[in-house]
Homo-oligomer: A and B are copies of this chain.
Amino acid sequence: MKAVIAQGGGPTAVVNASLFGAADELARTLPGSAMLWGARDGIEGVLAERWFDLRRPDADFWQRIREAPGAALGSCRKMLSREEAARAVEVLRRIEARYFFYIGGNDSMDTALKMQEAAAAMNYEMFVAGIPKTIDNDLPHTDHCPGFGSAARYFAQSAVDLGMDIRALPTPVSILEVMGRNAGWLTAATMAARENADDAPHLIYVPEAPLSAGRFLADVEAAYRRRGWVVVAVSEGVRDEMGRGWGERKGAAADGFGHALPGDAAAMLAALLTSELRLRARSEKPGLCGRASALLASNVDRREAEAVARFAVSRAAEGSAGFMAAIVREPSRRYAVHYEAVPLSGVANVERKLPLEYLAASHNDIAGSYRDYVEPLLGGPLRRYARLDSEAMAGSDS
């Protein structure tokens, strides 16, 4: 008998904590004779029968894997057809795999669902479970997604740092591009960078609200008049009022899921400021670095990434199948969570966008209520810095 684990979609800083959690829990739960395999490069590795033996690494090595960014098993972007799902289950049946755990986001949950359905149609008893993972935080029926808190911490800290830099300099405008094609959760998290009213970022734009050129220019000009420097945070997928992405480039290739490859929205918007307002503006786009930095990861996120995977294994071992492990936030004042199983059928292909209630009425900022949502996920306060202020201003005496 075997259990198989795979990782799908874009990696996160803590996706290997989930891999470790699942592997370790399986080793403790399954009989010692059971084999524990990792599929190489996600579902592609199942189809191609390329495996890691996850019982081989020793405890020390697992401790190091657990902390590594990137997907240790390799990953893929693949939209599985029903035929491919049947083929994948056929492979798993042949190697006598009874458990399949897929660590991933929306598309991976669709894959997991199709495999569970294919197994049922083939009358093969297999327990398929999804383990959530996405910096986009756009899976439904879970309070949040492992990987999000760490990326949120990275971008919020970057906004703090960038604010310290830009406020000191007469390059007056910087636009920080944050990952997120359709959902603004991560961009919204930069609001946690603010301690005082004057702090960066001063404007935040997410894909959930259209952003016209005129609106953007007016917002930045007003913010610039107020303080003389402006830091803007924008989602890479921010769109204009026609629904066209600001970062869409002619000839950009689509990825394996048929998504356009966005990016450079911030650069486009900076160029607009320069040409229309004659404001020196620049853009920063940490991009993938923002999801790959284990050094700036959130310890809460890391802990939950492991725990949610352990939960998925224990529920599958108890006989549950066709579910995704979800994080449920307790209503208590002090941050606490528990885990539940939600049906894959309710998760697959559903994209949970940032609710409009979290947008400021002006649509150029995030509502204060979002802070209560996001701050506990950052794993402790951001690093803040002192500034010389008017108290240290010398008198006009000479």
Contact = CB atoms under 8 A, between A and B. Distances in A.
Tell me what chain A mostly uses at the interface: helix, strand, loop, or mixed.
Answer: loop
Contacts of A166: 70, 288
Contact of A274 (B75, B77, B252, B270): B252
B56 A391 contact: yes
A95 B398 CA distance: 5
B296 A168 contact: no
Interface in A33-64: 35, 37-38, 41, 49-54, 56-57, 61, 64
Interface string A159-186: 0011111111111001010000000000
Interface string A359-398: 0000000000000000000000001011110011111101
A249 B51 CA distance: 47
A393 B37 CA distance: 9
A76 B253 CA distance: 41
Nearest to A231: B288
Interface residues of A, number: 89
B295 A383 contact: yes
A284 B282 contact: no
Q: Which of A249, A264, A394 has the most CB of B within 10 A?
A: A394
A11 interface: yes
A165 B383 contact: no
A266 to B, nearest CB: 9
B263 A283 contact: yes
Given A53-B392, A56-B392, A282 B256 contact: no
A382 to B, nearest CB: 10
Interface string A91-108: 000111000000000000
A78 B61 CA distance: 53
In the complex, the 7 A-B pairs of residues with the closest C-beta atoms, listed nearest first: A70-B164, A284-B287, A64-B386, A68-B385, A51-B394, A161-B292, A71-B168
Given A70-B387, A286-B286, 14 more contacts: A11-B164, A53-B393, A64-B386, A69-B164, A73-B168, A74-B168, A77-B170, A158-B286, A171-B255, A174-B288, A267-B267, A284-B287, A284-B289, A295-B295
